[in-house]
Structure formats: structure tokens, C-alpha cells
């Protein structure tokens, strides 16, 4: 991707919005149906890919090593690649370091692993505040970290897209890889949340 990814994505976004408005006005689509589709891509299909990457890393030490060494190729091993995922870097959370990702310039986001960015990720408030006061912002996501944990904020650039590898929750020793993937929320891979401790616990 070239420069275009570092500029506010005005033109295509505006055209899509204009099309959606027109379709709704002409009563060709139900705005609720559009919201539903966006929700599916944003919250269900998209982040599921990233969740599988994380779950694999939790159960397979060799895979995790490859993922931390060359994320783009390790993620492609599971079949996820393409636009906005050409230069992936995976950041491992540990008890001493918690990673958070942002694009301060616009809304760069790893599409092949996370789908489309949530609205708040694109907001000016998140983009500026998470850099200046990350702990405050994390608190608003109900994530309070011990003061001994260092918070590192990673700003996407024209090429690099980040994926956070959250810590595997305790008490999941007997879980299958698929069950583990159910614990990996989108927010935990952006860094504003932790992996869930049980699949019933919703976001
Ligand atoms: Co950006």
C-alpha cells in the first residue's frame, strides 16, 4: 500500500456513505440490515481469524516463535493474508508488558486478521488520548492493569499493522484450540482488553 493508507480515507468512505444514504432513501435497503452486515464483519467474521492465530500460538510454542519472529508469514500459514496485512507485527503481552495499538494518523488496521476497525478505533479521541494517557483510556474499556505492568502504545505507520497476542487466561489448560479461540476478543487483539476467561462472558 502506498501513501493513501496514511491519509484520512475520505473519498471511498464518503462514496460508500453516499451510496448507503441513497439506497436507504430509495428504500432499497433497510439501514438495520446494513448495520447488521457491518457488525458481522466488524465483530464476528473479521476478528475470528485473529483469534485463531492467537489460539494457535497459545497451544504451539513453535508456531508462537514463528509468529513473533515473522508475523506476516506465520499468519499466512493459517490462510490469512492480503491488503492491510502485508507487514504484520505481533506484540506479545506478558505480566510485565501490555501492548496497545492505534493509528494516530487515520485508522490503519489489520484487515485480514481483525476485519474492519470499530468506530471508536477511528475516533480522534482514541487516536490522540491512547498515546497521551493510555492507562486512563484502558480504564474506560474497564481494563485496569497493575502499576507494575508497563503499557506500550504502538502507532501503525504506512506499512506496519500490529496484532496483540494477549496472555492465555488461567484455568484453560484442558481447552481445545477452537475453545481457546472463543476466548480471544477483538479488543484483546487491539490491546484494550484481555482474553476472556470463559466463552460465555460477552464483551
Ligand atoms: Co492509519
Give residue 102 CA to ligand 1 midpoint distance, Å.
8
Residue 7 buriedness (CB in 10 A; 0-12 / 13-18 / 19+): exposed
Q: Which residues are catalytic?
A: 103, 106-108
Asked if residue 201 is part of any domain, the answer here is no
Asked if residue 52 is part of any domain, the answer here is yes
Q: Name the residue range of residue 54's domain.
A: 9-190
pLDDT tens digits for range 164-173: 999 999 999 9
**Count of domains in the chain?**
1
Give residue 32 CA to ligand 1 midpoint distance, Å.
28
Distance of alpha carbon 62 from alpha carbon 181, whole angstroms: 18
pLDDT tens digits for range 138-149: 999 999 999 999
Residues with CB under 5 A from ligand 1 (ion): 103, 105-106, 108
Question: Tell me, what CATH number does 32's domain have?
Answer: 3.90.330.10
**CA nearest to 196, candidates 162, 151, 166:** 166
- Report the chain's mean pLDDT, rounded to a whole number: 89
Phi, psi for 173 (deg, rounded to 5): -55, -40
Give residue 192 CA to ligand 1 midpoint distance, Å.
18
Task: Report the predicted TM-score, pTM, of the whole model to 2 decimal places.
Answer: 0.81
Give residue 13 CA to ligand 1 midpoint distance, Å.
14
| Non-local CB neighbours of 34 within 8 Å, separated by 6+ positions | 20, 24
- Which SS3 state, helix, strand or coil, does residue 171 take? coil
Asked if residue 184 is part of any domain, the answer here is yes
Asked if residue 92 is part of any domain, the answer here is yes
Asked if residue 43 is part of any domain, the answer here is yes
pLDDT tens digits for range 147-156: 999 999 999 9
Asked if residue 202 is part of any domain, the answer here is no
Asked if residue 29 is part of any domain, the answer here is yes
Amino acid at each position: 500500500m502506498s501513501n493513501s493508507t496514511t491519509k484520512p480515507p475520505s473519498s471511498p468512505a464518503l462514496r460508500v456513505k453516499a451510496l448507503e444514504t441513497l439506497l436507504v432513501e430509495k428504500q432499497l435497503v433497510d439501514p438495520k440490515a446494513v448495520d447488521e452486515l457491518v457488525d458481522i464483519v466488524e465483530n464476528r467474521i473479521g476478528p475470528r481469524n485473529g483469534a485463531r492465530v492467537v489460539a494457535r500460538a497459545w497451544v504451539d510454542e513453535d508456531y508462537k516463535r514463528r509468529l513473533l519472529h515473522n508475523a506476516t508469514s506465520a499468519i499466512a500459514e493459517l490462510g490469512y493474508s492480503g491488503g492491510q496485512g502485508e507487514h504484520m507485527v505481533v506484540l506479545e503481552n506478558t505480566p510485565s508488558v501490555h501492548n496497545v495499538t492505534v493509528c494516530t494518523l487515520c485508522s490503519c488496521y489489520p484487515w485480514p486478521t481483525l476485519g474492519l476497525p470499530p468506530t471508536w478505533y477511528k475516533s480522534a479521541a482514541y487516536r490522540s488520548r491512547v498515546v497521551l494517557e493510555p492507562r486512563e483510556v484502558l480504564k474506560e474499556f474497564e481494563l485496569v492493569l497493575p502499576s507494575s505492568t508497563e503499557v506500550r502504545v504502538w502507532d501503525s505507520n504506512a506499512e506496519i499493522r500490529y496484532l496483540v497476542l494477549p496472555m492465555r487466561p488461567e484455568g484453560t489448560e484442558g481447552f481445545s484450540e477452537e475453545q481457546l479461540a472463543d476466548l480471544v476478543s477483538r479488543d484483546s487483539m487491539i490491546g484494550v482488553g484481555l482474553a476472556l476467561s470463559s466463552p460465555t462472558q460477552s464483551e
